A = this chain, B = another copy of it.
Amino acid sequence: MKKILNYVSPERIPSLFDLLVGYDSGADIVIPYGNIAPADMKDMVYGCVFTRKPDDLKNSAIFIGGHDVIKSEELLDSALNVFKPLPEFFRVSVAIDPDGAYTTASACIARVKKAIDTRIKGMNAAILAGTGPVGQKAAILLAKEGCNVKITSRNLEHAKLVCNSIKEKDNIEIAPIEVKDEKSLEDAVSDSEIVISTGPEGVCLLPITVWSKFRKIKVMADVNAVPPYGIEGIDVQTTKEVKGKVLIGALSVGSLKMKCHHELVKKLFEEKGVIFDLDKVYGIACKLA
C-alpha cells in the first residue's frame, strides 16, 4: 500500500520545497493542493479517513504548509474540528510547518540548548527581530524551557501585538522590546545568556562591538544565511566558540532543520492519528541534535 502524503497550502502555489522533501522522506506519492481554505479541510480529512481501512490509515497523512503561519494554523484547527466527532479509528497523522517556521525554530533552539549544556531553565533570552514566524516559535520554545524571553523589534507596537497574540493563543508571557539604536540594543542583549537573531536576510542586527562587551552572553544563534549575517562574526557553516561565546550559524541551524523536516514526514507514516504540533517537532529536533 502506497504511503500517500496529502499536502495542503493556503496559498496558490504548493511549496515545491516541501513536496520534494516529502518524496525524499518516504512518501510514495505527495498530492499537492493549493488555495485551501479552512472549509475545504472537511473534504481533505474525509478523503483520507474514508478511503482506506482503519488499520491502513498510517499510510495516509496530511502535511500543512504555506507561507502564512496564521492561515496554516487555521487549516490545522479546522482539520482537528473535523476529526473530533469521528470515531477514534478514523484518524490520520497531521504535520504543520508553514514556511519551515516550526522546523527552523525547533532546530535553532535545539542547537542552542545543546550548546548550553547546563540548565537552560531560568536563563534570559533575547530574540532579535523576533516578530516573524521563526522568531515567535523560537520565543515560545524558549519560554516553555523556562527562559525569560523578550522579542525585539524596531516597532514597539508591532512587538506588543505579537506578544499579546502569543499570550492569547498559547498563554505564554513574552516581553516586547523596542530596539531603535545602539543604546536600546545594548539594553536588550546585555542581561541575556541567549541571543537569537531571526531578522531578514542580509541585515546585520548585532555588531561584534556590541556583543563582545557582554560577558553574560553564552550562546548566540542566527538564522540568516545571506551575508551580512544577523550577528556579526558568526560563521555561517559551523558552531564554534568566539570570545567565550558559542556562535551558531544559519547553515548549522539549517542542516538540523532539514533533518528534522525529513524525520517529521517519516514519522507521519509510522503511527496514525498523531498531530505533530510545535512541541512534537521540537522533540524531534532535540533528539536529532
Contacts and interface: CB of A to CB of B under 8 A. Distances in A.
Contact of A47 (B16, B29, B33): B16
Interface residues of A, number: 30
Contacts of A1: 24
A13 to B, nearest CB: 6
A72 interface: no
A16 B79 CA distance: 14
Given A16-B43, A23-B29, 4 more contacts: A15-B43, A17-B43, A19-B47, A20-B52
Copies assembled: 3
Contacts of A6: 16
A12 B34 CA distance: 10
Given A23-B4, A51-B24, A16 B44 contact: yes
Contact of A24 (B20, B31, B52): B52
A2 interface: yes
Interface in A6-49: 6, 12-13, 15-17, 19-21, 23-24, 29, 31-33, 35-36, 40, 43-44, 46-48
Contacts of A13: 33, 36, 40, 43
